[in-house]
Amino acid sequence: MSGGTLIAGIGNVFLGDDGFGVEVVRALSAHHLPDHVEVVDFGVRGVHLAYQLLDGYDTLVLVDATARGGEPGTLYLIEVDECAGAPIGGAVLDGHHMSPDAVLALLGTLCAGTGGTPPRRTLVLGCEPASVEEGMGLSGPVAAAVPEAVRTLVGLAREDLVTTEERFPMLLSSPGGDVL
């Protein structure tokens, strides 16, 4: 899928709102997207995501629960800085508990070892969780945010991502990588 866009749903469906990314990509699968866009439910398989990114995607969109202190159900579109996340070589391999920053750090390590190239651009479409306690199902506010998240992703997939800031004013830049 060299040069394409990967939309990756991540999260644990057994931890309430942490399953937001998984639910969004499930709902997104009902929409027709351009051929250059691939949508994958990675769940808790962060190592698999890092290895798939070695295929040479131009853009990565991570969809995940993202606690930033807002009201539950608030959506955030965040552009991740090149230097966000853990330093190269700082990846900790725990196949079932890899946060997005750990995935990006592992990707940096893998790219350095293989000569691969990380995505040119990484965005996070996050949703403020109400609860990530053990249990299945999204809370009301987070479930209500799923349709808007799908609309946002469809818009991103159909537009040139160079103009994302103009089309999606909720875009936030990550300050030093602490947004993941």
Sheet with strand 121-127: strands edge to edge: 37-43, 5-10, 59-65, 121-127, 75-79, 171-173
- How does DSSP assign 82-121, residue by residue? TT-SSPTT-----TTS--HHHHHHHHHHHHHHHT----SE
| Amino acid code (one letter) for 156 | L
Q: What is the pLDDT of residue 104?
A: 59
Name the E strands within 2-138: 5-10, 37-43, 59-65, 75-79, 121-127
Q: What is the pLDDT of residue 54?
A: 78
12-26 CB burial, b ≥16 within 10 A, e <16: bbebbbbbbbbbbbb
Residues of the chain under the 50 pLDDT cut: 83-96, 98, 161-169, 171-180
Domains (ranges, CATH) in the chain?
5-173 (3.40.50.1450)
pLDDT in tens, 42-52: 888 777 777 78
Q: What is the pLDDT of residue 47?
A: 72
H/E stretch holding 172 reads: strand 171-173
Q: What is the pLDDT of residue 25?
A: 96
Q: What is the pLDDT of residue 172?
A: 47
Q: What is the pLDDT of residue 119?
A: 83
H/E stretch holding 173 reads: strand 171-173
Q: What is the pLDDT of residue 108?
A: 59
Q: What is the pLDDT of residue 132?
A: 92
Tokens 């959506």 found at: 75
